[in-house]
Structure 1
Amino acid sequence: MNVWIGIDLGTQSVRAMAVGETGEVLGAAGRPLTSHRDGPRHEQDPEEWWRALAAATREALRDVPPSLVAGVAVAATSGTILLTDVSGRPLTPALMYDDRRADADLANEVGAAVWERLGYRRMQPNWALPKLLWLLRDAPAGARPAHQNDFVNRRLVGHEVPTDLSNALKTGVDLIEERWPAEVLDLVPPEILPEVVRPGTRLGVVCAAAAEETGIPAGTPVIAGTTDGCAAQLGAGATRVGSWNSVLGTTLVLKGVTKELLHDPLGVVYSHRAPDGSWLPGGASSTGAGALTRDLPGRDLDALSAQAAESFGLGRMDDGRSATGDSRPASAPVTYPLVSRGERFPFAAPDAETFTLGAPVGDVDRYAAIILGAAFIERLCFDYLDLLGAPVDGEVILTGGATRSAFWTQVRADVLGRPVTLRENAEPALGMAVLAGGDPTRMIRTRATVDPSGAGFGEPYIRFIEELERRGWLAGAAARHARERTAR
């Protein structure tokens, strides 16, 4: 039996998993990470990444025979970057994915034609290229950039490594040509940029020094990984054209698969390149379960979920099917559950803010209103992707913390009007174990499929769409398309 190691290098922690050929987790461990935040500043110590990763992998592999380990791959946060010296030692703290001290104007001025061709149109200040230009202003001679997983991959193999297309997207790599474009080379000294390879490419093998620290056997193949969002998509098994992974936790992230590159006139959807050359479009909303902890602090959310299910007539019957009431969903209050000011997807509205349609009475109503609003934004994401020409008729796989609520999952299936799939163990570390060499058809297991109950959410969804349009946040074409799809 072979065992593959998947590592998820996140914001708050490192997670390592040792996974067998049929998806059994033979070992797993995590270690916390420390962030340093101050307004637009968000930094981490790269050396802490390595210490935490080494401790997590040693624990995860404690009961795994070294002879079984067949590969390792690392996922990391998108847009996180630092400067190192020629030997890979950090010269700066890591500027994390949401650090906003840089200015994207120069990157957008020079690279506008490339960003337009790649479908996302403009870079944001928190993307890696603007931050790299900001770091290079005061950089010593010999400094070179490293994405988060480049830094640890170099430690694993003991020498300089290429970067992967997924992590290099926000640094301006040309995903069509799979190389650095001339526009980026005009901004950054070409000699400091790493070679670029597809995720899934072998980078080298674990060196003796790294083996001693991490417990990963020396000689284990090190495979180029992806960003954490793409890793979660791989772990969910959303790899066929038309399939989508909807990750709903603190916020909502939606990622799918298309044959062709999508071009979004708003720039809210951007695409990664898959290991097989297909495209992975998606976007990240600012709505999600974070609104629950903010608006219902200290409440028993499990109890509220059960009471909301009863209120909506969505209790479970003895044979496992859903029972639905008649009028409650159509008249229920709806909250637009922004976690912070401004929306990123399925529309761009920096001034967007939370609102509620209707008058919630009590905590159960407030809870259900947030659940409905998050589900409506999820539906609108699919409506907008359909407007762009993306295939949205494949499997919809739900992952993230929201799947722990049976009520929330049922509401999402009802609002989408289609079955949704729940995986047994979908997380980015599993996606990296698959990318490291595992067979996804054997390693990714389905826990359940939830069918729509027949609850009627079309009318409140249209009211919600009209309110977004009235406030000037949602464009008329997108609103019309959402109404048309709902009426079909």
Structure 2
Amino acid sequence: MSLTLGIDLGTSACRVALLDEQGHCQALARASLPAPLTSPTGIEQNPLVWWQACEKALREVFINVPASEVAAIAIDGTSSTLLLSTRQGQPLGPALMYNDSRAREQAASLAKIAPLEAAVHSPSSSLAKLLWLLEHAPPDTPFVALHQADWLLGRLGGRYDRSDENNALKLGYDPLQRQWPTWLEQLTLSTGDPISACLPTVVPAGSPLGPVDPAIAREFGLRSDCQLIAGTTDSTASFLAAGAHAIGEAVTTLGSTLVVKVLSDRPVFAPQYGVYSHRLGEQWLIGGASNSGGTVLRHFFSDAEITELSRHIDPAADCPLDYYPLLTRGERFPVNDPDMAGCLEPRPDDDAAFLHGLFDGIAAIEARGYRRLHELGAPWPVSVRTVGGGAGNAVWEKIRARHLSVTMLKADFAEAACGSARLARAGLEKIR
């Protein structure tokens, strides 16, 4: 049997999945991660805990499935989580997590040189974080800037100089020209070298990179020709796991926030709405994320209460409540307004009616999000698959289907690790 292994490094755990040649999941394993450290400065994590969790998850998954059956491995990680590492893989400090936004001044300086469509203008972008680190914690040894998935790839392959086009996007990489852009030459290191001296080599997601490091193969019992495949970001891996693969197919993530993504034959870049395009071969994955979502639901109800109250909601009935479910001021997509106030009133005495209003309000935002993507040049969805904590609520899905008027399909897998395993299979087929 030829298996492919996907590793998903998320915010709370490292998950691994093994898929066979027919795409069936043969095994899953999970190892918890400690919470990132939050301080007045920002949000950080020691990269060594990533490898510890990865080791634990790999050993667990290989209890019942022989490691010798794994033919290829791909990794996904949280987008924009960045660290500085020596060329030998030693972290030169904690990683700045994806939601660390300390680099406000650096983002402002990037606005003066980076094109509007570049995915670097947010304080949480990888490039803004890199500039912050160079200013506040400049290394005194040769180093490379790596994302979470890049560094873990290095642990498995013995090389710490590679990234993929999806992770590199927010470090300034140009996916249209498939190279580091010339405007980056305006940025320099303390040595006077251009900033490109510390940037990794970038390859398309799904590219074969060669075999795992011999020491890693011996440690886990992997075969010596087990191939490493260039990975992707966690959200892109979730899209691949869901099973969407044709132009116009879309995936909605109903997690703590609401994320909509659709496959297109051309890219869309609209940073004013936080809309960027990840390259997947010759296709483009276009997406945007609202501040609304599951966090609002769980502010008012537990998961058990949501399940029970849903039984008393008629999804075919019109909802008289016109909510825009936000807990705090500010929206980024499909409306970009940092001062926007949500609407959660009036609240009826009946909790089921209130939950109906929340469901309907978030469904309206989802539909408006896909309309926004369509207005910007993306195709209108021909189908929508759903992942995340809200994916299993049949009542909510019917409400969403009324707003979208498109076919709702069941996602193949809910685990992003399965998407990385699929990417590993695609890379393996390029070799064969």
TM-score, length-scaled by structure 1: 0.81
Unaligned 5+ segments in structure 1 are 315-323, 441-488
Measured against aligned partners, the alpha-carbon deviations of 1:273-300 in whole angstroms (never above 9, x if no partner) come to: 11x1221111111110111111225862
Letter in 1 for 2:28: A
* Cross-structure match for 2:88: 87
Q: Structure 1 51/219 Cα, relative in aligned 2: closer, same or farther at 3 Å? A: farther
The equivalent of 2:318 in structure 1 is 329
Provide the rounded CA distance (Å) in 2 between the counterparts of 1:75 and 1:11.
Answer: 12
The aligned residue for residue 156 of structure 1 is: 156
Q: Is the 8 A contact 1:19 1:430 kept in 2?
A: yes
Distance 2:196 2:373 in 1: 36
> C-alpha separation between the residues in 1 aligned to 2:221 and 2:392?
33
Q: What residue is the counterpart of 1:446 in the other structure? A: none
Q: Is the 8 A contact 2:382 2:406 kept in 1?
A: no
Following the alignment from structure 2 to structure 1, what is the Cα–Cα distance between the partners of residues 272 and 44? 29
Judge conservation of contact 2:278–2:284 (CA < 8 Å) in 1: yes
Distance 1:85 1:295, change over 3 A: same
439 and 193 in structure 1: CA distance in 2 versus 1, 3 angstrom threshold: closer
Query: Where does residue 290 of structure 1 map in the other structure?
Result: 295
- Contact 2:18-2:25 at 8 Å conserved across structures: yes
Matches within 5 A, 1:134-149: 134-137=132-135, 138-141=137-140, 142-149=142-149
Task: After TM superposition, list the pairs within 5 Å mapping 1:308-387 onto structure 2.
Answer: 308=313, 312=314, 314=315, 324=316, 328-331=317-320, 333-387=321-375
Q: Which runs of 5+ in 2 are unaligned?
A: 189-194
1:8-407 equivalences in 2 (<5 Å): 8-34=8-34, 35-39=36-40, 41-103=42-104, 104-111=107-114, 113=115, 115-116=116-117, 118=118, 123-137=121-135, 138-141=137-140, 142-188=142-188, 189-214=195-220, 216-264=222-270, 266-274=272-280, 276-297=281-302, 300-308=305-313, 312=314, 314=315, 324=316, 328-331=317-320, 333-407=321-395
**Secondary structure at the counterpart of residue 177 of structure 1:** coil
Contact 2:273 2:288 in 1 (8 A): no
CA contact (8 A) 1:27 1:62 kept: no
Aligned residues: 417
1:212–1:347 Cα change, 3 Å: farther
CA distance in structure 2 between the partners assigned to 1:140 and 1:265 by the alignment: 31
Contact 2:273 2:332 in 1 (8 A): no
Local SS of the residue matching 1:347: coil
Question: Greater CA deviation, 61-70 or 431-440?
Answer: 431-440
- Give the secondary structure class of the aligned counterpart of 1:225: strand
Residue 320 (structure 1) aligns with: none
* Cα distance, 1:270 vs structure 2: 1.0
1:411 aligns with 2:399: yes
- More deviation, 43-52/181-190: 181-190
**C-alpha contact 1:239 1:256 (8 A) present in aligned 2:** no
Bigger mean CA offset, 411-420 vs 17-26:
17-26
Whether the 8 Å contact between 2:290 and 2:332 is mirrored in structure 1 is yes
When residues 155 and 401 of structure 1 are mapped into structure 2, their CA distance, relative to the original with a 3 A threshold, is: same
Determine the C-alpha separation between the residues in 2 that align with 1:56 and 1:259.
36
How much has 1:265 moved relative to structure 2?
7.2
C-alpha distance in structure 1 between counterparts of 2:363 and 2:273, whole Å: 22
Distance 1:427 1:341, change over 3 A: farther
What's the % identity of the aligned pairs?
37
- Deviation, 1:225, is 0.4
Provide Cα deviations, 1:307-353, integer angstroms capped at 9, x if missing partner. Answer: 22xxx2x4xxxxxxxxx4xxx4142x243222543211112111223
For residues 334-381 of structure 1, the C-alpha deviation after alignment (integer angstroms, 9 at most, x for no partner) is 432225432111121112233125442232122111111110100100
Q: What's the offset of the Cα at 1:250?
A: 1.1
Partner Cα separation in structure 1 for residue 223 and residue 50 of structure 2: 19
Contact 1:26 1:63 in 2 (8 A): no
Q: Deviations for 1:150-174, whole angstroms, at most 9, x for unmatched residues?
A: 1110010112342111001111011
The residue matched to 2:272 in structure 1 has which SS? coil
1: CA distance, partners of 2:133 / 2:312 = 52
CA 1:192–1:298: 2 relative to 1, 3 Å: closer
1:179-220 Cα offsets, whole Å, 9 max, x none, are 111222321422211111110112222113323555544431
Aligned to 2:231, the other structure's residue is in SS state coil
Amino acid of the structure 2 residue aligned with 1:289 = G
Q: Please give the alpha-carbon distance, in whole angstroms, between the structure 2 residues aligned to 1:239 and 1:184.
A: 33
* Residue aligned with 1:437, SS: helix
RMSD: 2.0
Asked which structure has the greater CA Rg, the reply is 1
Does the Cα contact within 8 Å between 2:291 and 2:333 map onto a contact in 1? yes
Q: Is the 8 A contact 1:162 1:203 kept in 2?
A: no
The structural deviation recorded for 1:101 is: 0.7
- CA–CA distance in 2 between the matches of 1:67 and 1:106? 50
Q: Distance in 1 between matches of 2:59 and 2:123?
A: 37
Counterpart secondary structure, 2:88: coil
AA aligned to 2:393 is S
User: What SS does structure 1 have at the residue aligned with 2:270?
Assistant: coil
CA 1:214–1:32: 2 relative to 1, 3 Å: farther
Which one-letter code corresponds to 1:227 in the other structure? Answer: T
* Contact in 2 for aligned 1:334/1:358 (Cα 8 Å): no
1:85-131 per-position Cα deviation (integer Å, ceiling 9, x unaligned): 121100010100110111201112111x3x43x5x6x6100111000
Shift in alpha-carbon separation, 1:414–1:40, aligned structure 2, 3 A: farther
- Note if contact 2:319-2:356 (Cα within 8 Å) is conserved in structure 1: no
